[in-house]
Structure 1
Amino acid sequence: MGIIFEIKHTTTYNYARPVTFGTHRAMFLPRRGAGGRLLSWSAGTNLRSRIRWISDSLSNNIAEIEIEEPGSELIFTFQFRGIHFGAKDVKQFVLERRAERMPVQYTPDEWNDLAGFMRPHTEDPDLALAEWARSFVVDGKTIRALEQMLDAFRDGFNYQAREAEGTLAPAQTLHARSGTCRDYAWLMIEALRRLGFAARFVSGYIYDAALDGGEIGMAGSGATHAWVQVFLPGAGWMNYDPTNHINAGFDLIPVALARHPAQAVPLAGSWLGSSEDNLGMSVRVEVHKLGDVADQSEG
């Protein structure tokens, strides 16, 4: 099954007096691929601006936005419609035998392609992260270890949103046992890499059916979201969301893929003025289901 969805993503910056702006970079368009299709999109600002598109080394779509006039309020509005296909559970996929147990046996070609996603990016001086990762290696079964890691976030961590930008180091998140979706994803990625998995950071959106019904939604809904992809031979890149205990990821709409979180910032830029002029920012993300579509098939 798939869904037709619409997303509106609005970011507002406020200043005490007019300031000037440098180039801003936005990552908001879903990635093209077998899992989805982009139907329409628009991007704009309340101030006069010019937009040009570039692609980074991981084939992420980036909008570079030049703000051409000063202002005390800067609003970015990104809106698009698309079709998203996904699987409800990772067990719908069949792993190759070499992926069923840890460490996963990647082929030489896979090693060459995946090396950047297998090599740890952060320090672990007291080995706390490595020891935490090894605690999930009980019977050696790959899927079981991944499920236990998701369980650990659900049962032992406290999701806590914060206004400050950036992502905590995995050691900080592990010690605090709390964090945002980006913190959780980064901790899980670095733990998996220490177990020999190829894992990458994903930024995007989460569709939450509860919000369409006016109910309380999942953590991370109503904003940009972050999760993990793990490469498992036979299944490929599989989604794992430690924030909401989701695997496979039918509800997850990817925008940017990265080796580390700093490569997948939804919106970043600069401004020139006094530090006291900054009155803060607000983000609003609306994700709505417009209808259902049947499975993709050849015909």
Structure 2
Amino acid sequence: MPVFQIHHVTKYNYNRPVKESVNQLRIYPVASDQQEILQHEVNITTDPELFFFLDYWGNRCADFSLLAAHTSLIIDSRVVVRTIGKESVPIVESTRDELQQIVASDFHLLELSRPEEILATKALQQILTSLDCEHKTVMQIVEACSGYIFSEFKYIKGITNIETTVDEILEHRSGVCQDFAHVLLQLLRSMGIPSRYVSGYICPNKNGMRGEGATHAWVEAYIPQLGWVGIDPTNNVWVTTHHIKLAVGRDFNACSPIKGTFKGLAKQTLSVYVSVGYEDGHVFEELNDVQMQITESVKEAERIAAEEAAQQQQ
């Protein structure tokens, strides 16, 4: 049963003081029969009070606020997790007919089996037709869809962001883990298979996997006789003991580790550092400077700053 030490630092910097920052966290690993939380410490700038709750999807969340003016916000999470799941996923022969009977009487599963409305329905259907899923079991369909994304889509960092749509991903057939997860969700739901987005971390293993030492995303599909089972299309593997789950939801927006808002005309920058240490001392780490969308308030802040600078020079 491997033990992983995860250090996750999110840092916001503002070019002008901001205030009344209101934030929500989903950085608390799920305690389940697959993973055991041995230790978890979260430190936040000015040590605000945290208000914990469970959201609609059952994720443990926390709200906090920073009322006073500040030019930076740092959220530092350190967690030690032992994975206690099985090294492999058992094979079952459940059919789509069996699944449909279960879904028909479960609103939650029904909600997660409804695909998004997209423009590229023809392209999506061509993929499903090529996979010839009509006589496959539910498990085989999930494997086939994941395998298709792994082999036909290129793993390229920096060409997509959290706003990238499924239509855009299907068009250029490349992206990163969150993009592949969203495409897999669309494929599975189009086949009537309930599925949900999962956020978390991918941890080192002897074979090496794309995305190690970073925040990661994959999909859980509902399979009769097994329940919710994770599959990682970025690496085309069933999720076992090398994935740490933080949150689940319909898509990324429901699972975002940190999100919030603030008052003030300021331009913000965001950097995310993640390190994942294995019990043998091997550490994977990654630092990302995240591209932030320019809003009208940011443009206005830049205009005001330019005017103030010009006045000081007169």
Q: TM-score range by the shorter chain?
A: 0.7 to 0.9
Q: Call closer, same or farther: CA 1:110–1:36 in 2, change over 3 Å.
A: farther
1:5 aligns with 2:1: no
Whether the 8 Å contact between 1:104 and 1:197 is mirrored in structure 2 is no
Q: Call closer, same or farther: CA 1:164–1:137 in 2, change over 3 Å.
A: closer
1:207 aligns with 2:206: no
Structure 1 vs Structure 2: percent identity of aligned residues? Answer: 26
Q: 1:182 aligns with which of 168, 178, 184?
A: 178
Q: 2:118 aligns with which of 119, 123, 136?
A: 123
1:128-277 equivalences under 5 Å are 128-138=123-133, 140-142=135-137, 143-162=139-158, 165-209=161-205, 218-275=209-266, 277=267
The structure whose RCO (Cα within 8 Å, separation 6+) is larger is 1
Superposed CA RMSD in Å reads 2.4
Q: Call closer, same or farther: CA 1:87–1:108 in 2, change over 3 Å.
A: closer
C-alpha distance in 2, partners of 1:243/1:163? Answer: 16
Q: Call closer, same or farther: CA 1:285–1:220 in 2, change over 3 Å.
A: same
Partner of 1:296: none
C-alpha distance in 1, partners of 2:200/2:152? Answer: 25
C-alpha distance in 1, partners of 2:36/2:177? Answer: 25
Shift in Å at residue 150 of structure 1?
A: 2.5
Shift in Å at residue 125 of structure 1?
A: 5.7
C-alpha distance in 1, partners of 2:259/2:120? Answer: 31
1:44 aligns with 2:43: yes
1:83 aligns with 2:65: no
Shift in Å at residue 155 of structure 1?
A: 2.0
Q: 2:271 aligns with which of 282, 292, 298?
A: 282
1:129 partner letter: L
Q: Which runs of 5+ in 1 are unaligned?
A: 292-299
Q: Call closer, same or farther: CA 1:198–1:246 in 2, change over 3 Å.
A: same
2:231 partner letter: Y
C-alpha distance in 1, partners of 2:104/2:204? Answer: 34
Task: Map Cα deviations across residues 196-250 of structure 1 (whole Å, 9 max, x no partner).
Answer: 211111111111236xxxx9x5332232111001111112211111111211332
TM-score under structure 2 normalisation?
0.80
C-alpha distance in 2, partners of 1:264/1:86? Answer: 22
Q: 1:107 aligns with which of 94, 101, 105?
A: 101
1:187 partner letter: V
Whether the 8 Å contact between 1:44 and 1:76 is mirrored in structure 2 is yes
Count of residues paired in the alignment: 278
Q: Which has the larger radius of gyration?
A: 2
1:118 partner letter: S
Shift in Å at residue 60 of structure 1?
A: 0.2
Q: Call closer, same or farther: CA 1:85–1:122 in 2, change over 3 Å.
A: farther
Shift in Å at residue 288 of structure 1?
A: 1.6
C-alpha distance in 2, partners of 1:85/1:43? Answer: 23
C-alpha distance in 1, partners of 2:187/2:49? Answer: 41
Q: Which runs of 5+ in 2 are unaligned?
A: 281-314
Shift in Å at residue 22 of structure 1?
A: 2.1
C-alpha distance in 1, partners of 2:198/2:188? Answer: 15
